[in-house]
Amino acid sequence: MTAVQPPTGPLAGIRVVELAGLGPAPYACMLLAELGADVIRVDRPGGGTQLVPPEREALHRSRPSVAVDLKLPAGRDVVLRLVDSADVLVEGLRPGVTDRLGLGPDTCLARNPRLVYARMTGWGQDGPLAARAGHDINYLGLTGALHAIGTADKPVVPLNIGADFGGGSMFLLVGILAALLERGTSGQGQVVDAAMVDGASSLVTMIYGLLGAGLWQDRRAANLLDGGAPFYDTYACADGRHVAVGAIEPQFHAQLLAGLGIDPEEHGRQDDVARWPEQRKTIAGVFATRTRDEWAAAFEGTDACVTPVLGLTEAPAHPHLAARGTFTDRGGHPEPAPAPRFSRTPGAVRGGPRTPGQDTRAGLQAWGLPAEEIQELLDAGAVVQAG
């Protein structure tokens, strides 16, 4: 693998120490790196548990990896040296772990008062469940979000994008960027406690607002945005594939009916909830007469809000996504490109995933540790160079 490319982007000049973890924290650090931050990933020797082969772990791309034994005092001191010149430290370990390692926020902020110490957990740093294990589905389950997603019969798992990446990574990033912005005024760092359960709860703010206004029923497939409305749902086509329909506004709904050849007078009013089951049956019957791609072509250029439901292997080739460069190619496999876009300081994928410890020598030297000292640390087993 080639070396990680130099940072470019709006966060150029920001230095981030990442204590290796799984899922939301690595994703946030990948985004920071691709927006220009100088991120150094601190892995355990051997890399810990790998869910996928290291060379295909997309969340680990764009930043170097150094392997440090945090259980050894010399290894801990290496991280503290990195903290001294860092703007941000990101950790996604269970509450109390970094404190026991001697890398907790009190220790780090005492050395570097300008540090933004960002913590990513599922349940948060405190509360009755803080020490419990959990995953995206569990955090969504407690927020009400999972209850609202799915069919009338059961909740449906929305991958792990709701709590892990939406409620976790994104809110961690918001916290980091807000703390960096505030530091520009106060000159002081602080601790960011980002909990997936908090972020996932925030994501359903609008739904809770509708519920409070009496405009949402606390059951699935009975509301405007949960598949209850026949004009906001997916439909099977003649080839077994599906289209997505989002014709909420009356003018878009009119174009939907026109494209399907349905008489609006016979179909009934869009807001007549009592007729929704009948309307759904009519719409489903028409969509079933042609293939997905035939319907996509039929609605091309209209505002009926009808689009094909594309597979993961199909999406990167869609003309709109291809034109925008929404996906990039790495080793013959598509991966999403950096987002959002910037007019003057664009971000970039800076290289593929690194094997844990692949950049120990170069990474530590780039952060100011002398080559002779790095060799001593390697000899002592406090750090490990892989490969």
Question: Angle at Cα 140 formed by Cα 138 and Cα 145, nearest 5°?
Answer: 150
DSSP assignment of 303-364: SS-EEE---TTTGGGSHHHHHHT-EEEETTEEEEPP-S--SSS------S---TTTTHHHHH
Residues 160-173 have a mean pLDDT of: 97
Verify that 54 and 178 share a domain, yes or no.
Answer: yes
Identify the CA nearest to 180 among candidates 285, 37, 62, 55. Answer: 37
Verify that 103 and 168 share a domain, yes or no.
Answer: yes
Radius of gyration of the chain (CA): 25
- Residue 193: DSSP 8-state: E
- The residues with which 384 forms a beta bridge, in sequence order, are 67
Q: Which of 135, 147, 242, 318 is catalytic?
A: 135
Kind and range of the H or E element at 233? strand 232-236
Question: Active site includes 303?
Answer: no
Q: Tell me if 105 sits within 8 A of 82, measured CB to CB.
A: no
Tokens of 16: 């981030």
Q: Tell me if 47 sits within 8 A of 54, measured CB to CB.
A: yes
Q: Tell me if 360 sits within 8 A of 387, measured CB to CB.
A: no
Q: Tell me if 192 sits within 8 A of 132, measured CB to CB.
A: no
Instruction: Look at residue 2 in the predicted model and tell me its pLDDT.
Output: 60
Residue 327 inside a domain? The answer is no
Burial class, 132, CB count within 10 angstroms (exposed 0-12 / middle 13-18 / buried 19+) = exposed
Instruction: Look at residue 48 in the predicted model and tell me its pLDDT.
Output: 57
pTM exceeding 0.85: yes
Residue pointed to by tokens 């996906």: 327
Instruction: Look at residue 47 in the predicted model and tell me its pLDDT.
Output: 74
310 pLDDT higher than 50? yes
Give the tens place of pLDDT for each residue, 284-297: 999 999 999 999 99
Question: Active site includes 99?
Answer: no
1 pLDDT higher than 50? no
- Cis peptide before 370, with omega less than 30 degrees from 0? no
Verify that 178 and 85 share a domain, yes or no.
Answer: yes
pLDDT higher for 333 or 55? 333
Verify that 302 and 347 share a domain, yes or no.
Answer: no
Domain range for residue 85?
Answer: 15-203+343-384
Using DSSP, state whether 287 is helix, strand or coil. Answer: helix
CATH number of the domain to which 77 belongs = 3.40.50.10540
Instruction: Look at residue 164 in the predicted model and tell me its pLDDT.
Output: 97
The Cα–Cα gap between 274 and 192 comes to 48
Helix ranges (H only) for 235-304 are: 250-260, 264-267, 276-287, 292-298
Give how many domains the chain has, as a whole number.
2
Verify that 161 and 299 share a domain, yes or no.
Answer: no
Q: pLDDT over 90 for what percent of the chain?
A: 93
Residue 334 inside a domain? The answer is no
Residue 9 inside a domain? The answer is no
Residues 6+ apart with CB under 8 A from 293: 239, 241, 308
Give the tens place of pLDDT for each residue, 79-98: 999 999 999 999 999 999 99
Q: Which of 258, 287, 308 delimits the end of a domain?
A: 308
Verify that 49 and 188 share a domain, yes or no.
Answer: yes
Residues 6+ apart with CB under 8 A from 279: 230, 231, 267, 268
Residue 49 inside a domain? The answer is yes
Residue 378 inside a domain? The answer is yes
The Cα–Cα gap between 315 and 239 comes to 18
Q: Which of 164, 193, 226, 233 is catalytic?
A: 164
Question: Angle at Cα 198 formed by Cα 205 and Cα 41, nearest 5°?
Answer: 130
Residues 226-253 have a mean pLDDT of: 98
Residues 320-327 have a mean pLDDT of: 97
Using DSSP, state whether 289 is helix, strand or coil. Answer: coil
Residue 329 inside a domain? The answer is no
Burial class, 313, CB count within 10 angstroms (exposed 0-12 / middle 13-18 / buried 19+) = exposed
Verify that 51 and 178 share a domain, yes or no.
Answer: yes
> How many Cα atoms occupy the beta-carbon half-sphere of 214 within 13 Å?
0
Give the tens place of pLDDT for each residue, 12-51: 999 999 999 989 999 999 999 999 999 999 999 987 556 7
Verify that 113 and 251 share a domain, yes or no.
Answer: no
Residue 237 inside a domain? The answer is no
Verify that 195 and 83 share a domain, yes or no.
Answer: yes
Instruction: Look at residue 89 in the predicted model and tell me its pLDDT.
Output: 98
Task: Round the average pLDDT of the chain to a whole number and report it.
Answer: 96
CATH number of the domain to which 266 belongs = 3.30.1540.10
Verify that 55 and 165 share a domain, yes or no.
Answer: yes
Verify that 280 and 367 share a domain, yes or no.
Answer: no
Q: Which of 308, 331, 351 delimits the end of a domain?
A: 308
Residues 146-173 have a mean pLDDT of: 97
Residue 49, number of CB atoms within 10 A of its CB:
7
Verify that 293 and 196 share a domain, yes or no.
Answer: no
Residue 99 inside a domain? The answer is yes
